[in-house]
Amino acid sequence: MTDEPASAERRRLAEADTAGWRDWGPYLAERAWGTVREDYSADGDAWRSFPHDHARSRVYRWNEDGMAGFSDAEQSWCLALALWNGADPILKERMFGLSGPEGNHGEDVKEYWWYLDGTPTHSFQRWRYHYPQAAFPYAELVERNAARSKNEDEFELADTGVFDDDRFWVVTVDYAKAGPHDLVMSVTVENAGPDEASIDVLPSLWFRNTWGWEAERPAELPALRQSAPGTISGYRPGHPELTLRIDDDRAEALFCDNETDTELLYGEPGISAHPKNGIGDHVVDGRPTVNPAGEGTKSAFRVTLTVPPGGSRTLRLRLTEGPDAQAAALADTVLAARQAEADEFYAEVLPAGTSPQEADIARQAFAGLTWSKQFYHFDVRRWLSGDPSSPPPPAARSRIRNADWRHLSSRDVLLMPDPWEYPWFAAWDLAFHCVTYAHLDPEFAKAQLVLLVREWYMHPNGQLPAYEWDFGDVNPPIQAWAALRVFEIDGHRDHRFLGRVFHKLLMNFTWWTNNKDHGDNNLFEGGFLGLDNIAPLDRSTLPPEVGTLEQADATAWMATYALQLLDMALLLTAHDPAYEDVATKFFEHFLVIAASANEAGLWSEEDAFYYDLLHLADGRDVPLEVRSLVGLVPVTAALVFERHRMGDLDEFVQRGIAYLTRNPGFAPFVHLREHADGVRSLLALVSPERLERILGGVLDDERMLSPHGIRSISAEHRTHPFSVEVAGAQAVVDYEPGESTSGLFGGNSNWRGPVWFPLNVLIIESLRSYDTSLGEPHLVEYPAGSGEHATFGEIADDLSRRLVSLFEGADGHPRPSDARYPLLSRPRWRDNIAFYEYFHGDTGQGLGASHQTGWTALVAHLIVTRRRP
């Protein structure tokens, strides 16, 4: 990045924190129902505690949801889209999907929408939705999926036939900022069907209800009212006045209150005669449920558009602070300018040589991350104890989840994995998101990584919160990796950021060593560690009377963690020599862990692979001989140490030489090579020779190499499942390339065969580290049995190509990730890309969370960092 930002968007980023360009953004979740935050039940069943059917009538406690939504950074107000096709039984205000218990493979959204564009200051955003013209098949989706087993595919919206004959609306929403607090909204509806059709379009503005949870209602409540034809004015105490204008004279302003319909839900009188569902009931059923006085805390402009086949209509709106908003009719100029500036910005981000198809994939992946920023409000102490205006929560709630995290109190904008299927942060997901996002806005990426280690997230004991469903679960410790990558992407210059993260991660590393090394032998545990169903038994719940499990992946994660903290300390030493002592500590700690990983039973010399080791209570040691990602995590524990990047390290070097002299058994983990720029060192848990052997058994089409990356479990287990007897029962794991038939962990998690981006990316980076540090080529037959050989770097490049190919269509063929449904390859569909959670190990079909998964946005990172001729 140059000192003088070249593009208009770069100039906005340079002043974003002072000029307020991040104050307004797409911070509105697309699902708030079914979340832990809204669960006040005795049994912790979040899905049933606040179901989809309640969402239109019941006020949320902690946040809001909507379609194509914007809000301010505190979500005091929300702007979103509602639609009605004239046939649905309810107003379409939010996306529909199955809850975890309803889906035969866990929670699953049943709509089709995409994030097509977005810039980091949200100066331009584009969202698209395909809305059926027939009644939405809510009941059919629930009933058909309930009738299917885990051995069957999910029943999807495309399977209902509702899109037959192209009878649907293509709804595109564009946002463009004329200023930090001046927002243009454009809504275009295209009739894809063969006949003229009508649709009600309802851009909606409302205030989040924060007044209903106190012991006494405030004397002055927020208010929205029609101040002139086509104009809604909004006032909230302590906030600037808002003005929303629409450019259509036919627009009817409707008002109700963002209050619960207690009479409908509970048979009790309500606070408002026109509660939250008032606008929907009025539009769908014609009921007198909107406020005739023309005011409330929830509002919408209703416009009925009749569109010929193949035609389109567009509405323009403008939301500003203050009473003197410019006319919405001026919006076209702003939209055109911001879209052109978005093109200019991405021309800077994407390197020369990027193909048009790659550019489109990367841009939509980046766009998904910009849309996945969400306002996240959750005060665990208050959630556990309840609000003064509500009955106390059942005492059992504190025994279900998160009772040990009372310090956690968030009112922040965070990068979520997905605004619908995962509308809450997860520690290691966020780390992956930040690495990709740093290519757009390194300052925001750095702020996110710092935020998660701040005292209102990190536990006082040093543990990082895993995710909302159980903050006390353990995610792999990759924050240091993410911080280093963001530091690198940002130009290796922000040592203050690196130091802030480093000091907090020291606490987290200590927590790991004190809590996840029960044998005090530098072999670590950690439970599922983000790999859910990958093992024959639940690694998080093994009873101590049965035995203990020492994990190859947990041990390797800790070796990697030590290397990354070593790297940080060395980089910081160039600015402060005091870090040199800490660097020595992590150098020695890495060597101790690496030796344990290789010498204490995790490595199988016969199989050339790393396995978890089960210590049964009867004294037997049983290696869990599953060829899976668990055994490949050790490959990622590699660091290239380049002396010329650091400061004066004489003491560190001398101490390291002395330590290796006293402990010659650690020498296999330090590899020195002469290069043109001096000596380059590789510190690696896996020696280059051992890596060759591992890859020989992995990079085989019949094992872990798929056409689209590395499988999470080897395909050899398709015919040779692994079985082990534990506590008198047989535990089995086999190869499942698609959705998991195991309920071991639950949800839609499956690491029993599909291709999954995060570890593929880490393996690619590690192979490149080996390649650049060793000097001489190490050749591996690739693929196995082909007779062709490739270097570690060439293998990394090809794995990257395979992953990107998931989203590429060629010669009339659909992209592999969407190939299951011919519908998705039709002209109005094929340019819209979904970034699934994981991908079928044989075909590449997208699976799991089926909309936008932030870690799959790593495909943009691969495209930007691809080595090109």
Report the alpha-carbon angle 737-742-744, nearest 5.
130
Q: pLDDT-derived band of residue 646, with 50, 70 and 90 as boundaries?
A: low
Total residues belonging to the chain: 869
Residue 592 clears pLDDT 80, i.e. is over it: yes
Query: pTM of the predicted model, to two decimals?
Result: 0.97
- The yes-or-no verdict on residue 545 having pLDDT over 70 is yes
- List the structure tokens of 30: 């697309």
* CA dist., res. 73 & res. 411, Å (int): 9
Residue 745 has a pLDDT of: 77
Q: Quickly state the pLDDT bin for 795 (edges 50, 70, 90).
A: very high
CA pair distance 792, 789, nearest whole angstrom: 10
Confidence of residue 648 (pLDDT cuts 50, 70, 90): confident
Give me the half-sphere count of Cα atoms (radius 13 Å) on the Cβ side of residue 776.
Answer: 7
Q: State in Å, rounded, how far the first CA of the chain is from the last one.
A: 23
Residue 311 has pLDDT above 80, yes or no: yes
Q: Note the pLDDT of residue 586.
A: 97
Residue 20 pLDDT exceeds 50: yes
Q: Percentage of the chain surpassing pLDDT 90? A: 85
Q: Is the pLDDT of residue 748 over 80?
A: no
Report, as an integer, the average pLDDT of 513-523.
Answer: 95
The CA distance from 499 to 493, in Å, is 12
Are the beta carbons of 378 and 411 closer than 8 angstroms? no
Do the bridges between strand 77-84 and strand 197-207 make them parallel or antiparallel, or are there none, so unpaired? antiparallel
Phi, psi of 583 (to 5 degrees): -60, -40
Amino acid at 392: P
> Judging by beta carbons within 10 Å of its beta carbon (0-12, 13-18, 19+), is residue 265 exposed, middle or buried?
middle
440 pLDDT band, cuts 50/70/90, is: very high
Mean pLDDT of 527-549: 91
DSSP type of residue 272: -
Which residues contact residue 549 at a Cβ distance below 8 angstroms, ignoring those fewer than 6 apart? 525, 539, 542, 612, 613, 614, 615
Give Cα 443 to chain centroid, integer Å: 19
Question: Crossing angle of helices 427-437/356-371, nearest 10°?
Answer: 130
The confidence band for 145, taking pLDDT boundaries of 50, 70 and 90, is very high
Dihedral over Cα of 49, 55, 57, 61: its sign = positive
198-215: average pLDDT: 96
Q: Provide the pLDDT for residue 1.
A: 44
What integer pLDDT is reported at residue 3 of this predicted model? 59
The string of DSSP letters for 179-230 reads: ETTEEEEEEEEEE-SSS-EEEEEEEEEEE---STTSSS--SS--EEEEEETT
Please state, in angstroms and as integers, the Cα–Cα distance from residue 398 to each residue in 391, 401, 463, following that order: 15, 6, 19
Residue 99, classed as helix, strand or coil, is coil
Residue 317 has pLDDT above 70, yes or no: yes
- Measured between alpha carbons, how far is 277 from 280 in angstroms, rounded to an integer? 5
pLDDT at 602: 98
Query: Given pLDDT bands bounded at 50, 70 and 90, which one contains residue 649?
Result: confident
Does residue 134 have a pLDDT over 70? yes
Picking from 253, 182, 239, the residue whose alpha carbon sits closest to that of residue 211 is: 239
Q: Distance between CA 104 and CA 235 in Å, rounded?
A: 46
Summarised one tens digit per residue, pLDDT across range 415-439 is 999 999 999 999 999 999 999 999 9
Order of strands, edge to edge, in the sheet holding 124-132?
113-118, 124-132, 168-179, 182-191, 312-321, 242-246, 231-235, 223-228, 295-296
Span 737-764, average pLDDT: 89
pLDDT reported for residue 326: 59
Mention every residue, 6+ apart, whose C-beta is less than 8 A from residue 834: 114, 817, 818, 846, 850, 851, 852
Cα distances from 611 to residues 233, 551, 603, 622, 626, in angstroms, run: 63, 7, 6, 10, 7
Q: Measured on CA atoms in the order 416, 419, 422, 424, is the torsion positive or negative?
A: positive
How far apart are the C-alpha atoms of 90 and 93, rounded to whole Å? Answer: 9
Which amino acid would we find at residue 716? E
The confidence score (pLDDT) of residue 647 equals 61
Instruction: Give the least confident one: 64-68, 119-123, 220-224, 537-541.
Output: 537-541
**Residue 697 pLDDT class (50, 70, 90 cuts):** very high
Q: pLDDT tier at 749 (50, 70, 90 boundaries)?
A: confident
